[in-house]
Amino acid sequence: MKQTLLSLLDAIHSANPELVFEVFFWDGVQTKFGEGEPHFRVRVKSDAALRRLLAAGSLGFADGYIGGDIEVEGDLGALLRLGVDPRFQARRMSWGARLQVLRHALLTRNTMRGARRNIHHHYDLGNDFYKLWLDKSMTYSCAYFETPEDSLEQAQAQKHDHVCRKLRLKPGETLVDIGCGWGGMLIHAAQHYGVRGVGCTLSDQQVAYAQERIRELGLDEQIEVRNQDYRKLKGTFDKFVSIGMFEHVGRRYIPGFMRKTQGLLKPGGVGLLHSIGIEHVKWTGGWVNKYIFPGGYLPRLSEIAGSLSSAGLVTHDVENLRLHYALTLEEWARRFEKHVEDVEAMFDEAFVRKWRLFLNGAAVGFRYGHLRLYQALFANGLEADIPLTRRYMYPEPSPLESSAEPLETA
Amino acid sequence: MKQTLLSLLDAIHSANPELVFEVFFWDGVQTKFGEGEPHFRVRVKSDAALRRLLAAGSLGFADGYIGGDIEVEGDLGALLRLGVDPRFQARRMSWGARLQVLRHALLTRNTMRGARRNIHHHYDLGNDFYKLWLDKSMTYSCAYFETPEDSLEQAQAQKHDHVCRKLRLKPGETLVDIGCGWGGMLIHAAQHYGVRGVGCTLSDQQVAYAQERIRELGLDEQIEVRNQDYRKLKGTFDKFVSIGMFEHVGRRYIPGFMRKTQGLLKPGGVGLLHSIGIEHVKWTGGWVNKYIFPGGYLPRLSEIAGSLSSAGLVTHDVENLRLHYALTLEEWARRFEKHVEDVEAMFDEAFVRKWRLFLNGAAVGFRYGHLRLYQALFANGLEADIPLTRRYMYPEPSPLESSAEPLETA
């Protein structure tokens, strides 16, 4: 078993000879790959953890790492880059591990009740936890960086503004926001574009926070945040937005989500779907679903495009912002580590390892792996008021460059 | 039979009451829909033409119209809009008509020999014919209009420049152009961006014209146009472009086309695929394949995205330019009519009707129907030099706005 792992690591190392690392096993066996100071040291502390790693790939690694049977010193991101190597990706999960993933998927389907439970699992960990490492607008999705040096607060305000400009929001228009989180998008659209908005989320804590913030800002007449499943939303709107929620819909519910989207838009209405996606890769297992996002499903761009079209929605524009999400996640991971003692005080060590793995693993996935972030702009039918060219999305100078303060914090 | 057609027209007319038209049958029966001056009059001149129309939909109409058994006076575009109505689209073709379409598809597959024959059928009609109604750069693909008032010459130069900017072409870089037509794209890239390029086409007349023009312009050291199938191209390039050729690849050859594209790009190389696409609609038959583009196949965006991904190409950006192609085709149709006597002198009446139907039908398809024009920008792997934002595609002022003369004609 040790030899299987070492052969795999040797093959990956041959393709990345600049990477230096050491592997230690429970029985004292140790191997070093490369010369000089190691980027990281990994300790596999039991035979069971090794078997699990080999049988279940990234899920096996996550089980070991979160459980404490696999320890990593040094650069966790460098280790996680091994996981996106095609040699590692090409390994097949054992049938036992696949059955576990399938069983978990069946237990976490996004029925009306299941969706609420799944969202609760992640988003109701406590606003105090998210406040530790999110920006001030509590925006928990990919930011938009004009340059890599932009602050996170600035980049999130720019993201909201980029979306508003793509949608060409105008005063008095109505906007529906599916999966509105802590309300940052709706608040930006109401404050800077004068729209009237309705948002929904299934997270009790997000609703409480968003409603309070909206009251504080005096926006209660303009925007409303509901504790409601998107499938129960009624009415029609001029504009539609959904940011970082589509990942929670689940594969079998995608056609219904798109039909609902089409139904919520007036004829000629314009919508923007902002979602993580994944390249065409072999199915690589379920550690994120098991530990982070039960019920989640990452679509391919072909699925996004196909399901929009099947619902009668016309795709006008798709932008891949993968590097923006890498920058966002890298900053979240830095802030998380800065406040890691507070996290430990709130939860436990396994929680810290789980989140450290999640934030770093996702950052690696966007920068080096198969994760993508797509913004798809679409219209309900052909009579939409969308300009001939996309020049309108790129005013010079950028509206947020010219203001000293980021708009969001104004 | 007459009653079947009249009921269908009545249903379509009820949804479009502003449309006024008259239908005349061979036996003197006539019906008027709507009040006032008709937008068009259509004459079905035989029972056989009516049967064919009802059995084979748009293919049946094309057979009748091109053969002279169906005549249209007045606004052909208004009539063709009936064809994109969902009530017409929902009709099923007879099995006999489907078999004919299938048989035609099998006879026009894009094998090495078949592809050459198919391209010859359309593009070797004579450079003198295409010169009658194309712009001066002989660009036979969707132009790019900053405003609907742009001239066609200007819009084609802007299209070439839009593509060059998306690809960030730099002096000395190598560019491969699959389906290079009469050479307009390569010439623009060589003159204005200093690249070295290789293009291929299977049209003898395009090759002859492009080679002569390249010599005249003194660009023979910089660009080369080959009479070659894309599958036989060798070498690797910094940048890749293919404009209006992907429609000819054929469904079964798409994965191979994408693998070839990936193989032609250096690691980190960037490519742009410019292609007509179609929304998710029921298969509506083969008149364009029968009369205009044997071997053609219009992909859905989901197929474009999926096949790029399967070949290891990372999609960064997709732009839908459908209204630009409507504007382009409407201008081509106007120029065609302006020179229709020259066309009649070169060919015959059936040819004129075929092309009139093609240009007007395609314009209607882009403006009111299921046709789309996608530009997909992609990279071979993740290490591509693509900026964080798409702002670089939209310099202010537009480089072509600031020059008095369109660049292409300079």
List, for residues A136-195, the tens digit of each pLDDT value: 999 999 999 999 999 999 999 999 999 999 999 999 999 999 999 999 999 999 999 999
CA distance B20 to chain A (A): 22
What's the CA gap between A124 and A293, in Å, rounded? Answer: 12
What's the CA gap between A344 and A340, in Å, rounded? Answer: 6
Lowest model confidence (mean pLDDT) among A128-137, B216-225, B298-307, B400-409: B400-409
CA distance A322 to chain B (A): 9
Please list the alpha-helical segments (H only) found in A140-253: 152-167, 184-193, 204-216
Facing A302 at nearest CB: one of B302, B391, B393: B302
Amino acid at the residue A398: S
Torsion sign, CA atoms B59, B65, B70, B76:
positive
pLDDT confidence band for B91 (50 / 70 / 90):
confident
- Angle at CA of residue A84, ends B256 and A294, nearest 5°: 105
User: Parallel, antiparallel, or unpaired: how do β-strands B371-380 and B313-320 relate?
Assistant: antiparallel
CA distance A398 to chain B (A): 10
Cβ separation of B146 and A320 shorter than 8 Å?
Answer: no
CATH number at residue A14: 3.30.1050.10
**A48 and A79 in a common domain:** yes
Range of the domain at B181: 112-409
Total number of domains constituting chain B: 2
From chain A, the residues in CB contact with B317 under 8 A are 318-320
Q: Please tell me the total number of residues recorded for chain A in this structure.
A: 410
From chain B, the residues in CB contact with A298 under 8 A are none
- What value does the mean pLDDT take over residues A226-255? 97
Q: Does pLDDT of A5 surpass 90? A: yes
Q: Which of A26, A60, A91 is the last residue of a domain?
A: A91
What's the CA gap between A152 and A333, in Å, rounded? Answer: 12
Cβ separation of B382 and A389 shorter than 8 Å?
Answer: no
pLDDT confidence band for B406 (50 / 70 / 90):
very low
- Specify if A272 maps to a domain: yes
Q: Which of B63, B83, B105 is the last residue of a domain?
A: B105
What's the CA gap between A158 and A165, in Å, rounded? Answer: 10
What's the CA gap between B384 and A245, in Å, rounded? Answer: 29
User: Of residues B325 and B396, which shows the higher confidence score?
Assistant: B325
- Specify if A141 maps to a domain: yes
DSSP A105-170: HHHT--SHHHHHHHHHHHHTS-HHHHHHHS-TT---S----SSTTS-HHHHHHHHHHHHHHHHT--
Torsion sign, CA atoms A368, A371, A373, A376:
positive
Which segments of B207-324 are extended strands (E)? Answer: 223-227, 237-243, 265-278, 313-320
**B129 and B66 in a common domain:** no
CA distances from A251 to A105, A372, B283 (A): 11, 17, 25
For chain A, give the mean pLDDT.
Answer: 93
**B120 and B94 in a common domain:** no
- What value does the mean pLDDT take over residues A100-106? 88
Phi-psi category of residue B295: left, alpha or beta, with phi > 0 → left and psi -120 to 50 → alpha: left
Torsion sign, CA atoms A63, A68, A72, A77:
positive
- What value does the mean pLDDT take over residues B326-342? 98
CATH number at residue A396: 3.40.50.150
How far apart, in Å, do the first and last CA atoms of chain B sit?
58
What pLDDT shows up at residue A283? 61
Q: Which of B57, B74, B105 is the last residue of a domain?
A: B105
Q: Is the peptide bond before B171 cis (omega within 30 degrees of 0)?
A: no
Best residue in B270, B280, B321 to probe A by mutation, most A CBs within 10 Å? B280
Cβ separation of A280 and B309 shorter than 8 Å?
Answer: yes
What's the CA gap between B231 and B159, in Å, rounded? Answer: 26
Radius of gyration of chain B (CA): 22
What pLDDT shows up at residue B405? 44
CA distances from A304 to A178, A192, B235, B271 (A): 16, 29, 34, 22
**A133 and A87 in a common domain:** no
Residue (of A152, A121, A146) closest to A292 by Cα position = A121
- Specify if A104 maps to a domain: no
Helix axes B184-193, B204-216, angle to 10 degrees: 20
- The model's pLDDT over A242-291, given as tens digits with 9 standing for 90+, comes to 999 999 999 999 999 999 999 999 999 999 999 999 997 766 568 888 88
What's the CA gap between A167 and A393, in Å, rounded? Answer: 9
From chain B, the residues in CB contact with A396 under 8 A are 396
**B127 and B98 in a common domain:** no
What's the CA gap between B21 and B18, in Å, rounded? Answer: 10
- Specify if A96 maps to a domain: no
Q: Does pLDDT of A405 surpass 80? A: no
Cβ separation of B317 and A318 shorter than 8 Å?
Answer: yes
Percent of chain A at pLDDT exceeding 90 = 83
**B224 and B76 in a common domain:** no
Do B53 and B64 meet the contact criterion of CB atoms below 8 Å apart?
yes
Query: Residue written as tokens 């008509």?
Result: B97
Cβ separation of B306 and A393 shorter than 8 Å?
Answer: no
Do B103 and B286 meet the contact criterion of CB atoms below 8 Å apart?
no
pTM: 0.95
**B125 and B20 in a common domain:** no
Cβ separation of B315 and A317 shorter than 8 Å?
Answer: no
- The model's pLDDT over B274-310, given as tens digits with 9 standing for 90+, comes to 999 999 776 656 888 888 888 999 999 999 999 999 9
Cβ separation of B302 and A309 shorter than 8 Å?
Answer: yes
Do A293 and A118 meet the contact criterion of CB atoms below 8 Å apart?
yes
**A59 and A143 in a common domain:** no
What pLDDT shows up at residue B282? 65
Q: If interface means Cβ-Cβ distance under 8 Å, which residues of chain A face chain B? A: 144-148, 279-280, 300-303, 305-306, 309-310, 314-320, 323-324, 367-368, 372, 382, 388-391, 393-394, 396, 398
**B370 and B235 in a common domain:** yes
What's the CA gap between B110 and B328, in Å, rounded? Answer: 27
**A128 and A172 in a common domain:** yes
What pLDDT shows up at residue A396? 72
* DSSP character at residue A26: T
Torsion sign, CA atoms B70, B74, B76, B79:
negative
**B154 and B120 in a common domain:** yes
For chain B, give the mean pLDDT.
Answer: 93
**A240 and A307 in a common domain:** yes
Sheet holding A21-25, edge to edge: A30-33, A21-25, A40-44, A70-74
| Tokens describing residue B384 | 């591509």
pLDDT confidence band for A404 (50 / 70 / 90):
very low
What's the CA gap between B246 and B117, in Å, rounded? Answer: 16
Q: Please tell me the total number of residues recorded for chain B in this structure.
A: 410
Do A125 and A146 meet the contact criterion of CB atoms below 8 Å apart?
no
pLDDT confidence band for B151 (50 / 70 / 90):
very high
